[in-house]
Structure 1
Amino acid sequence: MRKALRPISAMSFASVRMFSGRVNVTNFNTVQAATFTLLALIIGFTFSMAVSRYDQRKTLEEAEANAIGTEYLRADLLPGGHRCAHARIIEEISRSAHCFL
């Protein structure tokens, strides 16, 4: 009797395995697609934030350089002794700002 049931049990096990395998592959593909979509969104938003931060930093550095240059030109309007002291202070500020680049 055992030998007679072996082919039937093997066929039923194979059909259950095949059916459950298809379901699992479909579920796996769905989960995999969703995971890759979320990963792509995370990477996209990360690069977007990095680019915007880089643009903002570049704009702020340009504004700071223009402010230092304008202040240096305005130092020429000061009377003699103050002009040299003010120019030295501005040069020191520009050197310390350059160290952070």
Structure 2
Amino acid sequence: MIRVNVPNKSKAAKTRNLGAKRCCRFSISVTSNTENKLDALAISTGFTRSELCDYLLQICVNSPDLVNSIQDKFNKNERYRVHPRIINDGEKQVVIY
């Protein structure tokens, strides 16, 4: 599995609505079991629940193996399948679709 470096704490969650950065809010519904796990992990790591969710989503969308696995299992339209690639951008690796 390819490892993608994600910052320890989400900068996006701390800089929302500042400068030219665009913020998109959306809400999700989770089971109470998932909520309990998120709360426990957030307390354990010192993240807020929002920071933790942002961090977990960053890991998911920046992991080519996970993206491909989800598409292999659930893809409905091959025309819209994304093809994640890792490129070197200076000293860091970036995932692009």
TM-score by length of 2: 0.23
Q: Higher helix proportion, which one? A: 1
Bigger proportion of residues as strand: 2
TM-score, normalization: structure 1?
0.22
If you compute each CA radius of gyration, which structure gives the higher value, 1 or 2? 1
Q: Which has the higher contact order (CA 8 A, sep 6+)?
A: 2
